[in-house]
Structure 1
Amino acid sequence: MTLQKPALFWQHVLAIGWLGLVLVLGASAVWLPLPYPPATSDALALSSPPQWDGALSAPHWLGTDALGRDVLTELIYGCRTLLLVSLPATLLLTAVGIWLGSVAGYWATTGLRWARRYWLALAGFLLCTVANVPLLRIGVGTALLPWLLWSGLCASLAWLLGYSRWWRQPGAFPIDSLVLGSAALLGSVPRLVLVLAIAAVLPLSFISMPLLLGLTCWPGMMRLVRAEVLRIRQLPYIEAARALGLPNRRILARHILPGLWPVVRAAFPFYLTLIVTTETTISFLGVGLPAETASWGHLLSTARLAPTNWWLIVFPGFCLVGTIISLRFLAQKPVFSVPILK
């Protein structure tokens, strides 16, 4: 009896092939021999349609936008923007979600105990960090000096309070309630509205935009990780590790975190899709990266200047839809685990 590969296998192969193409184009965009650099206008070819005459010397294979910028160049450099923004943002929200979900699910409300002076120092450190965020508009150096001064003051206060017995006594910290409350507070505001409001205050770059997207999209990943940690901590081998007297940090790092890999692996493509669509949306609205930065969202927004230019919708829309569908296929079931049917 012969073996047949299911259609699902080939769908995943196509998805991986498309994502690999986007990855290669984005990583090598700077070195590709493109005829036109990004953000460069061709005054003699404004709103030029695609030209497929079979010659390599064709001026604009995929046409130009209303400002004369080459669509092919903008698409390839848009892959680069996609990699520089979406991947770091997704990795950041995954790291934050794993960390907060693990500590919230393992220690719950009363399991995490620390000296009271350390909790006071941590609260002061977080307050001074939040208070110095508006200074980032002026410059990183301007915000760094007050942050260092206030952080040093909090550390000195914690050291002085160590002479008091009451401040040295351990106190339970409701980490689970705090994390869930923060996630609920963050989720009470629509994500797009929150991102647009913050982007209108702080200038966005290839550093601040991944930070903004990653720090506003972590609640979903955190809830998944927390639910999985609550399940794993009840398993017999965790009870055996506790009975052996292993410290909590070792149990969490060696026995619980490796068990989170299937959940994180399945959720990562979904949240990467969320970041890609969010970045494209805010770029389309003109609030994302600067206008001279090549992006699929910026390219789609130029169609509003010339609604009859169908190529400004078809080509970037195809790239965006192809990327989203490919990520969805990988999220449903990894290609390497697709069985071969008889």
Structure 2
Amino acid sequence: MFRKTKQAAAERHDGESYGAFVRRQFRKNTFGIISLYVVSFIFVIAVFADVLANEKPIVASYKGETIFPVFKEYAVDLGIATWDKHLLNVDWRRLEYDWAVFPPVPYSPETTDKMLVSLKERAPSAKHWLGTDDIGRDVMSGLIHGSRYALSIGFVAMGIALVIGVILGAIAGYFGGTIDIAISRIIEIVITFPRFFLIITIVALVEQGSIWLIMALIGITGWTNIARFMRGEVLRVRNLDYVSAATALGYSTPRVIFRHVLPNAIAPVLIYAAFGIVSAILFESALSFLGFGVPPTVVTWGSVLFKARSSTYSWWLAVYPGLMIFITVSAFNLIGDALRDATDPRLRS
């Protein structure tokens, strides 16, 4: 290990910036690079979910008019367009088109195929590649659109936790004394509450649940470790020469903190965020699996797993969403490990 560390340090280029050094070290980690491609692929699926799985055609000719239903739906949702009267509340799969180009998976996540009545008919087939749930909703469509919710929950919840944790941790580390003690005691009190059961309790007490509530709860309850980590980094940075020089020049405290302390202390905290995204995805999946997650109309990986509880012999309802969760969680963990190794101070000595 020591020999590898010395070799890595010897390979550092003269005049190379820290960012360039981290990128070069990260590229040496094969699993990290592969995981980055996997996460990028899932991100692309999430962005283009409506084009990949939708009951509406991407482009079609209907009654002599060329229409783009998938893209018009975006404009309708944004309030800058409205559906024509003859296209309101229609079954897009039964319209008589002149011609139409449908997505690869011609089902929306909420679309039900009522013709499927037996377990054999709901199993994976040429019509439904990954099968359907007990009410005929296509599993593959649910997984594609579920990737959007998984990444949204992970990034939004972690963003909330980062804002709270970074601010409180920076304040505690920079000012120290009574403020540090007070914030540290608050962190210790919050940590004493079992996070998972606290979220379940709040969700159970709220009459109208939503995906935003889940994001907020995961983020608000997940900032403590970030704050402790940030506090330690600020304690390390605040006595360095450039911070002392900024203070001596009469710069205001907020400027010293946000312009000089945070930029040099936040990098290790952002690496921890990769593991926090994993935690948020697992929390949502566990909550939905237990029936405390998103509303029934929202299809996520966890909600598909929830259907497996009541459909014992529908193995595809457990295997495919479970595989998606495993791949995504593993990829983020490997990215976090690769970033942690790339920023290892022993490699910069």
TM-score normalised over the length of structure 2: 0.71
Contact preservation (8 Å) 1:199, 1:287 = yes
Contact preservation (8 Å) 1:84, 1:206 = no
1:45 is matched with 116
Q: Distance in 2 between matches of 1:92 and 1:277?
A: 17
Q: Secondary structure at the match of 1:333?
A: helix
Q: Cα gap change, 1:335/1:233 in structure 2, threshold over 3 Å: closer, same or farther?
A: closer
Kindly state the Cα deviation for residue 337 of structure 1 after the two structures are TM-superposed. 4.7
Q: Cα gap change, 1:28/1:231 in structure 2, threshold over 3 Å: closer, same or farther?
A: same
1:24 paired with 2:95, answer no
* Superposed counterparts of 1:215-294, under 5 Å: 215-294=220-299
RMSD of the alignment, in Å? 2.3
What percentage of residue pairs aligned between the two structures are identical? 32
Q: Distance in 2 between matches of 1:16 and 1:42?
A: 36
Kindly state the Cα deviation for residue 181 of structure 1 after the two structures are TM-superposed. 2.0
1:167 is matched with none
Q: Cα gap change, 1:78/1:105 in structure 2, threshold over 3 Å: closer, same or farther?
A: same
1:86 paired with 2:154, answer yes
Q: Secondary structure at the match of 1:292?
A: coil
2:106 is matched with 35
Q: Secondary structure at the match of 1:258?
A: helix
Q: Distance in 2 between matches of 1:45 and 1:259?
A: 58
1:59 paired with 2:137, answer no
Q: Cα gap change, 1:225/1:7 in structure 2, threshold over 3 Å: closer, same or farther?
A: closer
Q: 1:77 aligns with which of 116, 125, 145?
A: 145
Kindly state the Cα deviation for residue 312 of structure 1 after the two structures are TM-superposed. 1.3
Q: Which runs of 5+ in 2 are unaligned?
A: 1-24, 53-102, 344-349
Kindly state the Cα deviation for residue 250 of structure 1 after the two structures are TM-superposed. 1.6
Kindly state the Cα deviation for residue 37 of structure 1 after the two structures are TM-superposed. 1.3
Q: Distance in 1 between matches of 2:286 and 2:248?
A: 52
**Matched letter for residue 239 of structure 2:** Q
> What is the aligned length?
265
Q: Secondary structure at the match of 1:309?
A: coil
Contact preservation (8 Å) 1:12, 1:335 = no
Kindly state the Cα deviation for residue 335 of structure 1 after the two structures are TM-superposed. 10
Q: Distance in 1 between matches of 2:187 and 2:28?
A: 36
Kindly state the Cα deviation for residue 90 of structure 1 after the two structures are TM-superposed. 0.7
Q: Distance in 1 between matches of 2:151 and 2:276?
A: 14
Contact preservation (8 Å) 2:305, 2:321 = yes
Kindly state the Cα deviation for residue 316 of structure 1 after the two structures are TM-superposed. 0.7
Runs of 4+ in 1 over 4 A off after TM superposition: 5-8, 335-338
Contact preservation (8 Å) 1:9, 1:335 = no
**Matched letter for residue 169 of structure 2:** G
Q: Distance in 1 between matches of 2:212 and 2:340?
A: 32
2:319 is matched with 314
**Matched letter for residue 49 of structure 1:** A
Bigger relative CO (Cα 8 Å, ≥ 6 apart):
1
1:198 paired with 2:202, answer yes
Contact preservation (8 Å) 2:26, 2:338 = no
Contact preservation (8 Å) 1:74, 1:295 = yes
Q: Cα gap change, 1:212/1:322 in structure 2, threshold over 3 Å: closer, same or farther?
A: same
**Matched letter for residue 36 of structure 1:** Y
2:167 is matched with 99
Q: Distance in 1 between matches of 2:136 and 2:155?
A: 30
Kindly state the Cα deviation for residue 16 of structure 1 after the two structures are TM-superposed. 1.3
Please, which moves more after superposition, 201-210 or 308-317? 201-210
Contact preservation (8 Å) 1:78, 1:295 = yes
Kindly state the Cα deviation for residue 7 of structure 1 after the two structures are TM-superposed. 10
Kindly state the Cα deviation for residue 196 of structure 1 after the two structures are TM-superposed. 0.4
Q: Cα gap change, 1:279/1:324 in structure 2, threshold over 3 Å: closer, same or farther?
A: same
Contact preservation (8 Å) 1:92, 1:211 = yes
Q: Distance in 1 between matches of 2:41 and 2:289?
A: 23
Kindly state the Cα deviation for residue 21 of structure 1 after the two structures are TM-superposed. 1.7
Contact preservation (8 Å) 1:266, 1:333 = no
Q: Cα gap change, 1:99/1:335 in structure 2, threshold over 3 Å: closer, same or farther?
A: closer
Contact preservation (8 Å) 1:11, 1:329 = yes
Task: Please list the CA deviations of residues 26-59 of structure 1 after superposition, one character each: whole Å capped at 9, or x if unmatched.
Answer: 11212322311112222222542212xxxxxx31
1:12 paired with 2:29, answer no
1:213 paired with 2:281, answer no
Contact preservation (8 Å) 1:187, 1:219 = yes
Kindly state the Cα deviation for residue 6 of structure 1 after the two structures are TM-superposed. 11
Q: Cα gap change, 1:22/1:6 in structure 2, threshold over 3 Å: closer, same or farther?
A: closer
